[in-house]
Structure 1
């Protein structure tokens, strides 16, 4: 444990399962994939909505958000984790 971080360590970490399994990244990636593949147009606010939801969802008991984002969260079962 500990030790020196080498220049090649960060790219390895960002490509690792450890990084991809962080709640923020998992929620962000699932929501973005859903938004980009949905039939409705992508809105300017979607990016910030996803960022906020990805940060708040793992730690918040209650979140107030718009109906469409709440539907996506429930559809992807992100609220059950």
Structure 2
């Protein structure tokens, strides 16, 4: 299975959509990764790139936090 990285032109297209929708910022999420040029492009823009590893870490942290918060509650 080939994992294609998200490229700069794809991030540029997303950035245009963010601007067109008058959003303050945008989050581009992929289960793969981004190319170096995609990361470089977003440095001075209100774009957040979240790759597969970051997404997994976010899910793990949320799951752990939720478990800790509710483990003492009985239904």
* TM-score normalised to structure 2 length: 0.32
Larger Rg: 2
More helix by share: 1
More strand by share: 2
* TM-score normalised to structure 1 length: 0.31
